[in-house]
Chain A
């Protein structure tokens, strides 16, 4: 049960990955092969296993802890101004 190129294009769109036509073709056959292989997991019966008690992650108290190097994080961005990270406008389909 392989993938079509159209499906791969859709997945690439969802994952925000720009693919060349060559990549799209290559990934279609490669992903189809892998999907076929991993489908093996479907042959395992839905046995009722002794359910392990879901490990509840130990959560810390919901207290704000200021991380002292926030300005370093802003400096790391590809573009910044007045302690803000600059980005292209979100609604870019406006005229």
Chain B
């Protein structure tokens, strides 16, 4: 032990491996024809090697970069010590979904973006390590149900995305009787219907949901809250002591250019839902997909990358990305863009769609666009795309997929008196309490479309607020103290 400590102390940026341990992946041209996971995951050897690149900073900056304040140094040190179970316990203090966040967090903007060695070398692959531990936990069934003392409080969670799941877990651990209501026939929110199998396999979501059920959380699908009953009814006649709203911001937007109602124009959400939730590409399921041969996807965020890579996998011959700025300004995770390029997506950077053209029978024939150059920075600090006069051009496509962002879902606003801002997102105070007493909200429906980890963080923060509101002691903390 003393030896090991010495060894660790001596680790500096000078004597660690310069390059991060590569992630084993399926070769691009093979994976573009299947739905198996692209990134295969570290082996134990890979993980230990990567853990040893962390210099275990005394004041780790990485931790500040993590929205849920994971003790990154702590869990990495445990991997180095080969005490993987302990690494998992450290992770699960902060996150319910390590196998998911390790896969989908935009680490380059968060933990890894501020990693100390990142200035000179490639940062420690924190996400990959987190995923590896998360996968180990699933494989070995490490999830442990804490001692829970029921307190008789009933909690309703609306929406089963990461925000709802995180809030549900914390409230169940605190001893509450928790029910999640989900409108679709399967739980998981965007994790299920949006992010495709090759990035986040369903078995990972199922395993994390199974853990929730072990905590006693009930999940009721096929319940559209607002319409089957209202938020107000949950608090009054249905007897819930507190409610959390995590309905996401899934309402897809279009641009309002001519030709958007042609057959062959659809939102990325529709394409992804048909594929992921409804299994349209699988012959044994009934939902049609109607994928074309030449597909243009507008936008360059995660949703766009997913839509493009799904299109390739279901047999499109040619997939284009049409984005008005450049690769540098793309909001997608760096890894997703890299993967999309490797798999053969054809990128039209600095391109704005002007019109979608009709084949004469109400279907998409082609798209007309204009080229841009980058001008002065705009409000977001990114350089504004400025159209270049006379640069219009046309190219043949038979599908146009919109992935240019989403708005707040309107159903809760239509059916309750909850206060919202002018864009329809729910207003909350700093504890995430809304204008209706005992009703909290968090995730995309409060912030607008964001990330899995931010939604999860919001769910946990709302749970904190709820516990204070209900005057609860945390039974899990008690159990630990004993």
Chain B associates with chain A: no
Binding site for B on A (CB under 8 A): none
